[in-house]
């Protein structure tokens, strides 16, 4: 396909590959479009030279030469089709064109999108991928990337973000190291134009090779590198997450493998297209790593099961509680969480929350996310075991949050991670959100299942947030200082206070009383001692981030303190993650009161004190 033929194709329904059954594309009344399920071939592309032509980066593609197209117009390449997020090729489809010279790679994309979202903010954020329709270009010069997360093959990879923002800038992301920067406009430029009448967005960019390739590699005919192209589609003005994505290699398997890139070759002239497509070299083998070594993660679980949690009872150093064997395994888990890239962690939670199931499955196939998934399966099995009367069993969910099992039923607090709605749904009576605006501390699929259950199950939140097909205006909110009874008799009291202007703090605390069972306090990070009564609790869950932790512990005199926020990845750019050392320091600060550290998937029985 040539560049000049791509626009008419996009303006017409791209129905053949996506609609083999003859269904009318784009029609919401007909339901979700049917797509072929057989995997696509791993794509390869040849990139022609620019020659003596000059390109003006202005968003118009009229000065581009005839070129072969990279197609992103097949339903198998779509990620995120649940709840009507994608209703056919009119909603999202693209063709991409590449051309090169000795100094730059030039990129053009024509994206079919019914509603275009430009960058909302006045200034460009360089902390995570902003909420705007965008094209993301990833390059793997050494062709050795095999996974998401802390994959050593990503060390020389480069990623660039193109979106509709006034600076005409190209952003270079380094997810592995957690940095980003705007390239100098003298050498890199991107222009994005949207045709509202036809629902067509045009991206045009110029990226210097010096930003794409390592110093040891030069742009020349015959050069082969791996590449990924993803289009992010935001169809809701209040949603900070993309509802739909389409990727160049997303249709190459039953799941979206984040380590699977296509390959591209620079060619000297168009002769390569005259029935003589060049042969691409095989991808190189890569050494074993922590990310790819499944045996390492199975061994981690085995070691953890042999060193169960032990409460710190007195004045012994917290590091020695449970023995040196448990300390070593906790250090391993903490180290892996510290190494996992922050933006990858945020985006995994986003993919989970927007039900991009194939992407989530691909990400969770290797490395730390695979271990989280395995530990969640273990929690699901263990949660089926009966709990003695008068006792609550507290499970540390692997990606954060808590599941509480009682003799009556379960409830969840800040539950995050994949497949919660499938693995833990059955017995959950209600969900509590202490920090609802943090996408890493909730699972939207679980919450929607709670909302739409017959009868609906309570979701206790003090701040409204965007949920697909749930109006923010209709989301019930709790009031600080009020109590809420639950069907099985549990009583939940919201603890906190409103600010002078009537707004609420970003975190909230909850006191849960279970009939004939223990009283539990889940303390938000902004909880102050003066906001709580001097009443004993059987369990206090509190984070080392709470600056008043020691005073709160002294005031409520808990039977056991369980420390929150441990063994998580960094989520905020301006807030360091809670380390194992921080957890041990918090234990020392509250001595001689009993406390315990739970690793992902572990549990602790909390009896009601007599």
pLDDT at position 18 is 29
Clarify whether residues 242 and 330 are in a common domain: no
Q: What is the pLDDT of residue 28?
A: 27
Residues 357 and 447 in one domain: yes
User: Is residue 495 pLDDT above 90, yes or no?
Assistant: yes
Picking from 271, 289, 305, the residue at the C-terminal end of a domain is 271
Q: What is the pLDDT of residue 81?
A: 87
Mean pLDDT, residues 517-539 taken together: 96
pLDDT at 450 over 80: yes
At 179, is the pLDDT very low, low, confident or very high (cuts 50, 70, 90)?
confident
Across the range 149-153, mean pLDDT stands at 95
Residue 16 has pLDDT above 60, yes or no: no
**Which residue has 């069972």 as its token pair?**
517
* C-beta of residue 395 within 8 angstroms of C-beta of residue 407: no
CATH code for position 360:
3.60.15.10
pLDDT digits (tens, 9 = 90+) for 186-240: 999 999 999 999 999 999 999 999 999 999 999 999 999 999 999 999 988 889 9
Higher pLDDT pick, 316 / 542: 542
Both tokens of residue 10?
């996009």
**What does the pLDDT look like over 76-118, one tens digit per residue?**
999 998 878 888 878 899 999 999 999 999 999 999 988 899 9
Q: Is residue 158 part of a domain?
A: yes
Query: What torsion do the CA atoms of 165, 167, 173, 178 make, to the nearest 10 degrees?
Result: -90
* pLDDT score recorded for residue 440: 97
pTM above 0.85, yes or no: yes
Residues 392-424: tens digit of each pLDDT: 999 999 999 999 999 888 999 999 999 999 999
136, 64: one domain? yes
Centroid of chain to Cα 231: 16
Beta bridge partners of 312: 595
Non-local CB neighbours of 367 within 8 Å, separated by 6+ positions? 147, 148, 149, 150, 151, 290, 291, 292, 297, 340
| Residue 3's pLDDT band (cuts 50, 70, 90) | low
What percent of the chain has pLDDT above 90? 78
Is 282 domain-assigned? no
* Inter-residue long-range contacts of 213-217, CB under 8 Å, 24+ positions, other chains counted: 213/139, 213/141, 214/141, 214/142, 214/156, 217/141
Same domain, 200 and 72: yes
Question: Across the beta sheet with 459-460, what order do the strands follow?
Answer: 459-460, 428-432, 410-413, 402-405, 391-396, 603-607
Classify residue 47 by its DSSP letter. E
Considering the domain architecture, whether residues 258 and 345 belong to the same structural domain is answered as no
Instruction: Compute the distance between CA of residue 464 and CA of residue 448 in angstroms, rounded to an integer.
Output: 13
**In terms of Cα–Cα distance, which of 106, 103, 237 is closest to 160?**
106
Per-residue pLDDT tens for 560-572? 999 999 999 999 9
State both tokens at 256: 């979206």
In a domain, 537, yes or no: yes
Residues 541 and 439 occupy one common structural domain: yes
Contact 85, 218 (CB under 8 A): no
**Is the same domain home to 194 and 319?**
no
For residue 21, name the pLDDT band (cuts at 50, 70, 90): very low
Q: What is the mean pLDDT of residues 570-596?
A: 95
224 lies in the same domain as 330: no
How many independent structural domains does the chain possess?
2
Residue 455, in any domain of the structure: yes
Q: Report whether pLDDT(383) > 90.
A: yes
Indicate whether 395 and 527 sit together in one domain.
Answer: yes
pLDDT over 70 at 368, yes or no? yes
Q: Which residue segment(s) compose the domain that 541 sits in?
A: 297-607
What is the spatial distance between Cα 98 and Cα 235, in angstroms, rounded to a whole number?
27
**Domain check: are 540 and 391 in the same one?**
yes
Whether 271 has a pLDDT exceeding 80, the answer reads no
**pLDDT, greater one: 334 or 24:** 334
Q: What is the mean pLDDT of residues 328-342?
A: 97
| Alpha-carbon distances, residue 130 vs 1, 165, 174, 241 (angstroms) | 32, 11, 15, 9
Q: Residue 68 and residue 74: Cα distance in Å, rounded?
A: 17
- DSSP result, 153-189: GGTT-EEEEEE--TT---EEEETTTTEEEEPPTTT-E
Question: Do both 253 and 133 map to the same domain?
Answer: yes
- 563 and 515, same structural domain? yes
Q: At what angle do helices 294-305 and 367-382 cross, to 10 degrees?
A: 40
For the CA atoms of 159, 218, 4, 132, the dihedral, rounded to the nearest 10 degrees, stands at 10
Mean pLDDT of 516-534: 95
Per-residue pLDDT, 76:
95
Rounded CA separation 538/608 (Å)? 6
pLDDT of residue 8: 45
CATH value at residue 166: 2.60.40.1190
Q: State the pLDDT at residue 493.
A: 97
- Residue 452 falls inside a structural domain: yes
- How much is the pLDDT for 488? 87
Q: Which of 271, 288, 307 is the last residue of a domain?
A: 271
């Amino acid at each position: 396909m040539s560049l000049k033929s791509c626009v008419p194709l996009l303006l017409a329904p791209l129905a053949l590959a996506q609609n083999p059954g003859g269904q009318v594309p784009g029609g919401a009344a007909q339901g979700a479009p049917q797509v072929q399920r057989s995997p696509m071939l791993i794509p390869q592309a040849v990139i022609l030279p620019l020659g003596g032509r000059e390109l003006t980066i202005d968003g118009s593609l009229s000065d581009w030469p005839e070129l072969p197209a990279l197609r992103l117009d097949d339903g198998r390449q779509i990620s995120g089709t649940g709840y009507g997020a994608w209703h056919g090729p009119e909603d999202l489809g693209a063709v991409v064109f590449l051309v090169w010279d000795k100094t730059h790679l030039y990129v053009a994309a024509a994206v079919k999108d019914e509603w275009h979202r430009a960058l909302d903010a006045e200034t460009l954020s360089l902390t995570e991928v902003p909420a705007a329709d965008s094209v993301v270009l990833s390059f793997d010069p050494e062709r050795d990337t095999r996974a998401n997360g802390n994959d050593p093959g990503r060390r020389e990879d480069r990623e660039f973000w193109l979106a509709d923002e006034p600076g005409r800038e190209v952003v270079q992301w380094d997810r592995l190291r957690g940095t980003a920067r705007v390239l100098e406009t003298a050498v890199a430029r991107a222009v994005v134009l949207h045709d509202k009448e036809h629902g067509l967005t045009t991206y045009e960019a110029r990226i210097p090779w010096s930003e794409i390739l390592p110093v040891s590699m030069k742009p020349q005919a015959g050069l082969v590198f791996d590449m990924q192209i993803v289009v992010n589609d935001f169809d809701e003005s209040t949603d900070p997450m993309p509802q739909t994505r389409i990727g160049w290699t997303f249709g190459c398997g039953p799941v979206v493998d984040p380590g699977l890139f296509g390959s591209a070759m620079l060619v000297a002239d168009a002769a390569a297209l005259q029935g003589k497509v060049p042969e691409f070299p095989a991808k190189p083998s890569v050494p074993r790593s922590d990310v790819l070594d499944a045996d390492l993660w199975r061994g981690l679980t085995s070691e953890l099961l042999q060193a169960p949690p032990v409460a710190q009872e007195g004045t012994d150093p917290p590091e020695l509680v449970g023995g040196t064997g448990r300390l070593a395994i906790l250090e391993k888990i903490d180290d892996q969480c510290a190494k996992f890239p922050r933006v990858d962690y945020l985006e995994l939670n986003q993919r989970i929350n927007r039900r991009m199931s194939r992407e989530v499955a691909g990400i969770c196939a290797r490395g730390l996310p695979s271990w989280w998934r395995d530990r969640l399966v273990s929690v699901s099995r263990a949660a089926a075991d009966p709990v003695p009367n008068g006792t609550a069993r507290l499970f540390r969910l692997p990606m954060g949050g808590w599941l509480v099992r009682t003799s009556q039923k379960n409830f969840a607090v800040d539950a995050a991670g994949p497949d919660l709605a499938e693995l833990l749904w059955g017995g959950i009576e209600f969900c509590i959100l202490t920090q609802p605006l943090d996408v890493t501390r909730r699972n939207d699929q679980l919450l929607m299942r709670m909302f739409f259950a017959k009868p609906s199950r309570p979701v206790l939140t003090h701040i409204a947030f965007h949920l697909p097909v749930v109006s923010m205006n209709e989301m019930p909110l709790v009031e600080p200082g009020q109590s809420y009874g639950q069907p099985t008799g549990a009583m939940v009291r919201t603890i906190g206070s409103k600010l002078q202007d009537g707004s609420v703090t970003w975190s909230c605390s909850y006191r849960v009383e279970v009939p004939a069972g223990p009283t539990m306090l889940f303390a938000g990070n902004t909880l102050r001692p003066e906001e709580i009564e001097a009443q004993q609790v059987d369990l206090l869950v509190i984070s080392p981030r709470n600056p008043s932790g020691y005073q709160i512990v002294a005031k409520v005199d808990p039977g056991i303190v369980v420390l929150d926020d441990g063994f998580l990845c960094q989520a905020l750019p301006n807030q360091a993650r809670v380390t194992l050392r921080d957890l041990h320091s918090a234990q020392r600060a509250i001595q001689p009161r009993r406390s315990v550290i739970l690793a992902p998937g572990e549990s602790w029985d909390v009896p009601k004190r007599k």
